[in-house]
A and B are shown apart, each in its own frame.
Chain A
Amino acid sequence: MNFQSYVSGVPTSDKPTFISGAFHPKLTTVSISMRRPFPSLLRSFLRGVGVVAVGSFASAAEPLSYNRDIRPILSENCLACHGPDKAKQKGRLRLDVREIATQPAKSGSIAIVPGKPEASEALLRILATDPEEQMPPPDSGHTLTAAQKDLVRRWINEGAAYQRHWAFEPIRKAPASGNVIDFFVRQRLQPAGLQPSPAASPETQLRRVSLDLTGLPPTSGETSAFLADAQQRGLDAAYEARVDRLLKSPRYGERMAWPWLEAARYADTDGYQNDGPREMWRWRDWVIDAFNTNMPFDQFTIEQLAGDLLPNPTHEQLIATAFNRNNRYNSEEGIPIDEFLLENAVDRVDTTSTVWMGLTASCARCHDHKYDPLSQKEYYQLVDYFNDVAESGRATRGRNSEPWIKTPTPDQRAKLATFEAKVSQARTALQQAEPEIRVAQEAWENDPASIGPALRQGLDFHFTFDAPEERAAAKEKGVELQPGVQGTAATFTDKGYFEIEKIPGLIGNGRFSIAFWMKPDQVESGPVLSNEAAVTIRNGILVEMANGRLRWNINTRWISGVSTIETQRPLKPGEWVHVTLTNDGTQRAAGMTIYVNGEEQAVTVIRNTNSNVANRKEGAAMRVGYSKHVGHWRGQVDELRFYTTRTLSADEARSLAVRETPETIARLAESARTPAQRQLLRIAFLEQGANPAQRDLFSALQKAEVALVAYDDRLPSTMIMRDLPEGRPSFVRTRGVYDALGERVQPGVPEILPGLPRGVKNDRLAFARWLVSPEHPLTARVTVNRHWQLLFGRGFVATPEDFGAQGEMPSHPELLDWLAAEFKESGWDVKALMKRMVMSATYRQDSTVTAELHQKDPENLWLARAPRLRLPGNVLRDQAFLVSGLLVEQLGGPSVFAYQPDGLWEEASNAKYTPGKGADLYRRSLYTYWKRTLAPPTMAVLDAGDREYCSVRQKYTNTPLQALTLLNEPTFVAAARRLAERMLTEGGVTDSDRITFAFRLVATRSPTPAELQVLISALAEYRVAFANEPNAAPAPPKKGEASAAKNLPPLELAAATALANVLLNLDEVTTRE
């Protein structure tokens, strides 16, 4: 088959009308099986007789098309057992492959004998009435209609020509003239006996295109300007100019981002169980920006799928890759890690396949795809592209999960630079004071006995073990103070331990450092330090010896929530070493560092699931040389320091590793001191000996450093794609189960599609480039289809998520292909595509449903009119804010907590919702904080995508809950009150003027006299109602809500608010006509 033959098969002028239903028999799918050969009696009976009723929709004169007429029947009824899924194939018969279907089976019978229906076993079985023979089997619940049976018979009779599925064929541009969209649309209207509708009114066109391109209606100023322009230059010129302005508006990017966020399952929380917060808004802003700057769609694709693999990726290209980190991610305790590593990769494959290829790849997770040529092995080859992410498998609870990067905005980068400048200024100031400092320090060194230990900044606890003390008491006999590095040291044989007081703040999500000298006598195992709880969850920290190496655990729940790192180099038994452990509060192994003798150690990550916030913030007793869970240890520990709020620097770790005390160093001749000793002594001087001016310089530097770290800690981060250097092996999973490993696979693209170019490195970047390669038949079609859907409510392919055999056939295949080809040729220019669509007469026509249209094409499949579509929830809310003057337009930034009723989170979870204030309440809905498991209620009621998984289809429902929301939800009511205020203050003096003013704001047109009359008497009635009912006072604004001007008469405001409430609920206002 080729695509042209398919095209030629669709109705043209002299052929009958096709309606969509005829293409798509709606039946259920089940298993059938070929059992035994067909009885010859019936065979002979059939040979002589005209078999069944004639199908109603494929005219007898017209040759059948496999794709149009036959594939849907086979796919729906037969392919589950006689299709691509090898495991389910019955009798090794495939009906979707001509070479197999026309070969004799073992029994000798042939399923399909081209030109000979009476010899075709498949048809005979379909026609059989004996339950033993019948296909599909009676228990399958499937049955072909008489018309379908006849189609199969005719098709075999005509030679049983097969065609490849249309969507896998190359994209071809059919010749067209004039406006291409209108040309191809009219081609379909004619045979259906339909005419295009006249152009919509200028106001309707303006309102429609404004809502479609920016998600907001025109303001009254914009409307007047447009109408004036149309008067002057003509409607077409004015319209085009307006379209160009809209496409340049930053609101365009905001509008285009919404469906992309739904497709990308973007949210502000992780989506499982406690559904804790994550931070991905920098990616959301990247998307808005990409649409606004009209980033070519191929680049948009490559950067999001594989920006990290581009040579020297920019900060922005890394942010782009958050696309495939938007998936849900489980932080639940005790999850099998491998299970969720697989779920993450699978979600990436399914989302990517749906969004770019319209392929329902997930069907092949458990078995070969039943309808489309995608094997299970091929599915896991796709998984392998997405399986190498350097993630732990368990999400970090309450913050971003690895891999992530800090992603300051340009403003924040500038601010960060000022903090850095302050540090370097402070350092310079200190350096400039060097001559005086040196002189003062020399004098100070003359009294070494007065010099104490150094590095005191943030040093909260320091145990020297130089004398018995209460804060660090030896438990049991056999624990002694014996000579150590500095004075005496805590010394353990294999019993007893030192218990030192509670040390607060040593928690995974806090900064802290621990430093000490140690001499391990026992290196195979044994705890050096532990404040683990005695209970089995063992929350706390544990520093231990393990196979000669030093191992450090931060543990919130053994063993499901632990970060453990271990030095790669072993420690020598009996040798003193200095150890500094630092944590940066990011709850991950990579945030922990071990220094030995001042050198940062290469470490092995043993565990990396420290997802929880440790609950030992108040501290627990620290034991040296013992853990209830590990036992005792032999060795010595000296000079144990706890910095409970700081992450020590490498310099500081080096200074701490100086064996001599500052006092001892001061006694050495200057020339005999090592650089590290000099550094330590300098710090001691600045801390202890400096005069107030010098000390101020030093503390200014320390403060600047603290401020820099504090600012840096608050910068937004974004989860990105970054692969493990060594990758992660991928396997076929039997029945899709994570621990049922099958064959190991390498990355690869499905065979049915064009191959990768020769010689390229077969990685995720190659995959992304392949998607937007000129030969790829799906990406451009699927993308154009989604954009069409955005404007027309339904795509050419009504199943935007499925372009496979089970998906709907395209309503206008030539147009879809033409636009797809043009889209590629234009350099994947999205704005040009959008402009081409909205400039067409098809788009600009009236949406009136005439009786004829309703009768001939109730679903408006052939587009003889524009669709009337209820506005999405986000647009409804934004529109109400805009027309009332409440909208706060501010591009991008962290998500905001819009108004929602109290208790919605609290009743279902342990999270608390605190609405924002002021401007936060009136930002565009795009910026509303989205908790995945408890979505913003207004959006959920108004058909927003779930954000739990990829969603590419807009739902349009019509429910009483939506009515209640639009009537009574407080922000809609606030908008009504503000609109009322505008009526009274800006709308003129008479009721008629005021109503007309408000009506124009919400509907972009003036009311008809009849409408105006209804509204005028309505307003009068409301006035009476409020005057007569003492309790019917105007609603006072709620806390945090915008209040109306104080000087307005309350009664008037109340009545006008009721009227505005009606206006905002008008069908026309909630609809894009």
Chain B
Amino acid sequence: MNDDRYHAAFRPTRRQFLGRATAAMGGFALASLLDPTLARAASGLPGALTATPKAKRVIYLFQSGGPPQHDTFDYKPHLDKVHGQETPASVFNGQRLTGMTAGQSSFPIARSIFKFQRQGKSGAWVSEVMPHLAGVVDELCFIRSMHTEAINHDPAITFLQTGFQIAGRPSIGAWMSYGLGSENANLPVFVAMLSGKGDQPLYDRLWGAGFLPSVHQGVRFRSGKDPVLYLNNPDGFSDGLRRKTLDHLGTLNRMRLDVTGDPEIETRIAQYEMAYRMQSSVPELTDVSSEPASTFELYGEDARKPGTYAYNALIARRLSERGVRFVQLFHRGWDTHGGLPGQLRARCKETDQATAGLITDLKQRGLLDDTLVVWGGEFGRTVYCQGDLAVNNYGRDHHPRCFTMWVAGGGFKAGFTYGATDDFGYNIVENPVSVHDLHATLLHQLGVNHERLTFKFQGRHFRLTDVHGTVVKALLG
């Protein structure tokens, strides 16, 4: 080995090194992995970073399947009066239906079986199905006028996650990884966690990097002994032995670096070292046994069980504390075509306490101010009943024209409700917010100009917001 020669003649300067990394990967995330302080400075995105960001990170609680707005947050007392009647043509107004209900001979209006009450100082309406969330409404900014373009799950969830209905674009978290880099050298920038069961599956592309370098794809954290794939050494391979093998590997790779002069080898050595650090940082992160009892009072006892939504919510807080930029939970099972009351109760039982607990916890820790917590699904549901309307049972079909989401923290107005739908919860009558608008606004709070965060691919400068999106200033405090 001839370190001197290497350092004198071969070792690239940091700038050259970064230049190379950028050229090889099309981004600067590698650099940020190695030296997180470089994240913003090394951004190759002229003009993308705007004024001081209000938020540093995101926890996105994706409720997959399309939660019913009528039964949760969009209170429609009028439905009690017209329950069971045919939905008026004036409400449909020629809008398309899915093939699942287009053939129905009747479209009876279904009121919500759940009781609504005003909650908190802000007096936001929340149904009885989310008693815990009712306790934190004053932290939330409800958007009751969300609308989307797709009417089916796959295109709709892909649209929410990537700004485009067809596969191939980067997910929001990947854009953030690309645009903002990391604040933690031992953990990925973007973590996705899955829970729940249901008809609607989830896909790699929802946390994928699309055409961005694959380094930006979300890392799926799993329950069980390998929270990150292949994190653990092979059976019988102790940590000490792994350290030794990595030392030998590093020595040999450095020898090869001397011979070949390829700076990529130095990067590889660094990546193996980060892998090693992840082997201790991830288990430490995912082991919640050191959390005090109060944590589980807050999130619920489920938070002790890996694989549950509550556990994932707790991990989301722990990740956020450690500077992970984008944490996304996906909870399946909100696709309430039939048997809505039972299904909704079950989903809320799984999620309500932990969601509220997460808000409270972040607030207590002073993290809520610069963390954006986003809650919502891929579309809303119809006011008319899908299938047969019974006394205590009904279902609702997909409905892209309006749905409710909420955002907490990160400079969004707290205890605020924006937008309104008609008496049927079917059409927006006030302040529509598109998916692109939501994305633009989230990015804005993160200090990113959504029109400038671009990546050139196939001759085009692609954006998360495509060619659309307006920052909804009214939502911001």
Q: Is B251 an interface residue (CB 8 A)?
A: yes
Residue contact A1066 to B461, C-beta cutoff 8 Å: no
Closest approach, in angstroms, between the C-beta of A995 and any C-beta of chain B? Answer: 12
Which of A337, A536, A937 has the largest count of B CB atoms less than 10 A from its CB? A536
A112 and B452 alpha carbons, distance in the complex (Å): 30
Q: A967–B201 contact, CB under 8 A?
A: no
Q: List B contacts of A1008 (CB < 8 A).
A: 255
Verify A1062–B240 contact, CB threshold 8 A: no
User: Would you call B69 an interface residue if the criterion is a C-beta within 8 Å of the partner chain's C-beta atoms?
Assistant: no
Chain B binder among A327-335, A514-522, A889-897: A327-335
Residues of A with C-beta under 8 A to B208: 946
Beta-carbon contact of B236 and A536 below 8 Å = no
Contact yes or no, A851 B238, CB < 8 A: no
B263 beta carbon closer than 8 Å to chain A: yes
The residue that B204 contacts in the complex, of A858, A940, A1031, with Cβ under 8 A, is A940
Selected contact of B461 from candidates A29, A333, A959, A1036, CB within 8 Å: A29
B198's nearest neighbour on chain A, judged by CB, is: A910
**Do A907 and B459 have beta carbons less than 8 Å apart?**
no
Kindly provide the distance from the CB of B285 to the nearest chain A CB, expressed in whole angstroms. 15
Specify which of A802, A847, A1036, A1062 is in contact with B249 (CB 8 Å cutoff): A1062
Q: Chain A interface: which size bin?
A: 35 or more
Does B460 lie within 8 Å of A908, measured CB to CB?
no
Q: Is residue A478 contacting chain B, with contact meaning CB distance below 8 A?
A: no
Within 8 A of A (CB), among B202-243: 202-205, 208, 210, 213-215, 217, 219, 222-224, 226, 228-238, 240-242
Contact A559 B261 (CB under 8 A): no
Q: Are B229 and A964 in contact (CB under 8 A)?
A: yes
User: Please, what's the 1-or-0 string for B289-311, where 1 marks a CB less than 8 Å from any CB in chain A?
Assistant: 00000000000000000010000
Supposing A946-B167, A958-B264, A1018-B244 touch, asked if A854 and B12 sit within 8 A by C-beta, the answer is yes
Could you give, for residues 1035-1073 of chain A, a 1 whenever the CB lies within 8 Å of some chain B CB and a 0 otherwise?
110000000000000000010001001100111101001
For residue A935, CB closer than 8 A to chain B, the reply is yes
Q: Does B104 contact A (CB under 8 A)?
A: yes
A848 partner residues in chain B, CB cutoff 8 A = 259-261
Chain B residue with minimal CB distance to A75? B459
**A114 contacts the other chain (CB 8 A):** no
Q: Which residues of B contact A1054 (CB under 8 A)?
A: 236
Nearest CB of A to B282, in Å: 10
Task: Please choose the segment from B17-25, B137-145, B353-361, B429-437 that sits at the chain A interface, where 4 or more of its residues have CB less than 8 A away.
Answer: B17-25
Give B305 Cβ to nearest chain A Cβ, in Å.
Answer: 14
Contact A851 to B261, CB < 8 A, known contacts A806-B459, A963-B272, A1066-B253: yes
Q: Does B1 contact A (CB under 8 A)?
A: yes
Residues of chain A lying within 8 A (CB to CB) of residue B454: 28
User: Could you mark each residue 761-789 of chain A with 1 if its beta carbon is under 8 Å from any beta carbon of chain B, else 0?
Assistant: 00000000000000000000000000000
Cα–Cα distance between A141 and B200 once the two chains are bound (Å): 41
CB atoms of B252 and A1014 under 8 A apart: yes
In the assembled complex, which residues on chain A have CB atoms less than 8 Å from the CB atom of B105?
Answer: 536, 629
Q: Mark A880-920, 1 if CB is under 8 A from B, else 0.
A: 00000000000000000000010110011111000000000
Specify which chain B residues have a CB less than 8 angstroms from the CB of A29 in the assembled complex: 460-461
State which residues 359-373 of A face B: CB under 8 Å: 360, 362-363, 371-372
In the assembled complex, which residues on chain B have CB atoms less than 8 Å from the CB atom of A372? 459
A933 at the interface (CB under 8 A from B): yes
| Chain B neighbourhood of A30, CB < 8 A | 451
Docked Cα-Cα span, A1035 to B262, in Å, equals 35
B386 in contact with A910 (CB, 8 Å): no
In the complex, B265 has a CB within 8 A of chain A: yes
Contact with A along B380-405 (1 / 0, CB 8 A): 00000011100000000110000000
Q: Which residues of A contact B154 (CB under 8 A)?
A: 272-273, 330, 332
Is B366 at the interface (CB under 8 A from chain A)?
Answer: no
Please, which residue of chain B has its CB at the minimum distance from the CB of A999? B252
Cα A935 to Cα B203 in complex, Å, equals 9
Q: Are B205 and A362 in contact (CB under 8 A)?
A: no
A363 lies within 8 A of B460 (CB) = yes
Q: Is the CB of B230 within 8 A of A1035?
A: no
Which of B6-22 touch A at CB < 8 Å? 9-10, 12, 16, 19-20
Q: Is A220 engaged at the interface, CB distance under 8 Å to the other chain?
A: no
Which residue of the partner chain, among A27, A958, A1062, contacts B245 with CB atoms under 8 Å? A1062
**Given the complex, which residues of A lie within 8 Å of B279, measured CB to CB?**
964
> Using Cβ atoms and an 8 Å threshold, which residues of chain B touch A36?
none
Min CB distance A734 to B, Å, is 15
20 A–B contacts, CB within 8 A, in A order: A275-B201, A330-B154, A334-B151, A334-B398, A336-B96, A337-B99, A354-B458, A363-B458, A560-B99, A806-B459, A851-B9, A854-B12, A854-B261, A910-B199, A949-B167, A961-B188, A964-B228, A967-B242, A1014-B255, A1029-B241
Closest 5 CB pairs of A and B: A806-B459, A334-B98, A560-B99, A909-B201, A559-B103
Apart from A334-B98, A1018-B248, A1067-B253, list 8 A-B contacts with CB within 8 A: A271-B167, A335-B98, A802-B459, A957-B24, A957-B214, A1015-B252, A1018-B245, A1034-B236
Q: Which residues of A contact B (CB under 8 A)?
A: 26-30, 141, 271-275, 328, 330, 332-337, 343, 354, 360, 362-363, 371-372, 535-537, 557-560, 609, 629, 799, 801-802, 804-807, 847-851, 854, 858-859, 868, 870, 901, 903-904, 907-911, 933-935, 937, 940-941, 943, 946, 948-949, 955-965, 967-970, 973, 1008, 1010-1011, 1014-1015, 1018, 1021-1022, 1025-1026, 1029, 1031-1036, 1054, 1058, 1061-1062, 1065-1068, 1070, 1073
